Structure 1
Amino acid sequence: MLNEDVAKIVFAIGKMEASGVTPLGTAFAISGKLMATAAHVVGVEAKNLVAVISAQSLSDYQDTTVNQIQSFPVSVKEHDAIRDISILEVPKDVTIPYIKDSLKGTDSVATNSSIISLGFPHLDFGRLVLTAHQSNIGARVLLATSGTKTKHAILNTQTRPGQSGGPVFRTGTTEIVAMIMGSYVPALEGFALIGGINPHTLHQTTHAISAEYILEMM
């Protein structure tokens, strides 16, 4: 069961270009002025970023025939390439809904705990549908980047482009325990993309970084 209010804190992130908004990934509010996403979604020197308002309730039908979107500009406030986290800031005249004291961490979810993640699968094809995925924590691991170890949860689910940066909730609560990073990709050479998809990502495991690191960056 997922609290309906959580839909209001999740946004699609895109880049405003001459041809329109190029979709990038998912972000979620962590305060009335800040939201978090994966650093690889927006890049280091991201410009012309916008947050797109989507579903206000997961119970309602999301109308995929509507072509107009509501959005507002956002900018990168903090960027941690090692942990793959970016904190985005909204304009002074904008206040976004958020859930107070929601950021926790993977210490609070044991292996096999039930979780629900939110994001926009297939956003790279322009499909703006906020989607909930229920799964379990398959393992908790420590990963090292540039000598820095970070806590991750491995989720028993497959994610698609657009879901990176989405929040992971402990089922039955509004506690955000992790943020979606994406499918595990082995370091192999010589593979070919098929329809724009790396076939090595087609498996039932997804990495999510502990939300405690987002809390540290606020």
Structure 2
Amino acid sequence: MSDNICLSIAMGVKIMTSSDFTGLNTLNTFVNQSRNNLLNYFCKTCFVLGKFNQSTQFYEMLGTCFLIKNNLIATSTHVIGGNTSNLFIFFPEILEINSYQDVSNTECKPIPAEIVSQNPFSDITILKTDISYSGNLIPLGSFDDTSILETLWVFGFPHCVEGRRVFTAQQAELGAKILLSSSNIKSKFGVLNIQSRPGQSGSIVFSPTKNKIVGMLAGAYAIDCGISLGGINPRELNQTTQCISAEYISEMLEE
């Protein structure tokens, strides 16, 4: 027996055998499968929200939305804007996270959606649509459940307003918890250390440690600087993105 092994035994460190490594490989396989199943869940419950343009006879993408209850979806009110009719969600192009997405595919499967309720203070709209999920839905939580520098996952469709429909998974640290006021009503927000792009409003913000949807992406923090470069406010180009706490979605479901 070598000196190194004798020292390890004397220190109370277990020497790993081939069966131990087999057990670790089995555990890693289980963890990877569970992770992929979770990611696949978001593929099936996160959608593009769009409208049908009567003038052009084409569907246009407005932003991201996601399933919060069977037949009900949530998005940011500013995503809808003045579009109160001819709203649709587009059935997911992929159902598995590791699938390739064909960006040249312009076909879509629209499902009609109608506005059920809106909260102008928290910028949240709930819509009703004919879609459901056969399994258990991931519960809604709050930024109260999270800690600063915790890693959160973001799921949505960046750049969809520019005609690019790509379901995208990202992760970012929670940089701050803030209160924002609208008409003297304060709401809880989380600030993610990530740059967001048009189309991501309404995206899912998920805590993998709490297994809850803790927020919904609202957009980049920026004030109007009076300058537009290619339709972009330069002050939006920063690594801070504001997200409304998901507890306000829960409150609307209880009304």
Q: Which interval holds the TM-score relative to the shorter structure?
A: over 0.9
Q: Could you tell me how far 1:99 is from its partner in structure 2? A: 4.5
Amino acid at match of 1:176: I
Using the alignment, how far apart are the partners of 1:8 and 1:45 within structure 2? 25
Using the alignment, how far apart are the partners of 1:7 and 1:174 within structure 2? 16
Aligned twin of 2:118: 79
Contact 2:206 2:215 in 1 (8 A): yes
Q: Could you tell me how far 1:171 is from its partner in structure 2? A: 2.6
**2:234 pairs with 1:199:** yes
Amino acid at match of 1:217: M
Structure 2: segments with no counterpart, 5+ residues: 1-34
Could you say which structure has the higher helix fraction? 2
Using the alignment, how far apart are the partners of 2:131 and 2:177 within structure 1? 35
Say which of 115, 118, 124 aligns to 2:161. 124
Structure 1 residues 16 and 217: CA distance shift in structure 2, 3 A: same
What does 1:166-181 correspond to in 2, within 5 Å?
Answer: 166-171=203-208, 174-181=211-218
**2:252 pairs with 1:217:** yes
Q: Could you tell me how far 1:172 is from its partner in structure 2? A: 5.0
SS in 2 for 1:76: strand
Aligned pairs, number: 213
Aligned twin of 2:3: none
Using the alignment, how far apart are the partners of 1:73 and 1:174 within structure 2? 30
Say which of 156, 180, 199 aligns to 1:143. 180
Contact 2:71 2:131 in 1 (8 A): yes
Amino acid at match of 1:110: S
- TM-score between both structures, scaled by the size of structure 2: 0.80
Structure 1: segments with no counterpart, 5+ residues: none
Say which of 108, 112, 116 aligns to 2:149. 112
Moved more, 37-46 or 126-135: 37-46
**1:159-218, CA deviations, whole angstroms, 9 ceiling, x for partnerless residues?**
0000000110013564100000000012x45x2111111111000000000000000001
Contact 1:31 1:99 in 2 (8 A): no
Contact 1:99 1:174 in 2 (8 A): no
Mark the structure with the bigger radius of gyration: 2
Contact 2:116 2:128 in 1 (8 A): yes
Could you say which structure has the higher strand fraction? 1
Using the alignment, how far apart are the partners of 2:131 and 2:90 within structure 1? 14
Aligned twin of 2:46: 10
Question: CA RMSD, aligned part only?
Answer: 1.6
Aligned twin of 2:79: 41
Using the alignment, how far apart are the partners of 1:99 and 1:216 within structure 2? 20
**1:34-92, CA deviations, whole angstroms, 9 ceiling, x for partnerless residues?**
000001001356110000122322111111122211111101100111110000111xx
Say which of 129, 151, 156 aligns to 2:193. 156
Using the alignment, how far apart are the partners of 1:95 and 1:163 within structure 2? 21
Using the alignment, how far apart are the partners of 2:218 and 2:43 within structure 1? 19
Q: Could you tell me how far 1:95 is from its partner in structure 2? A: 2.8
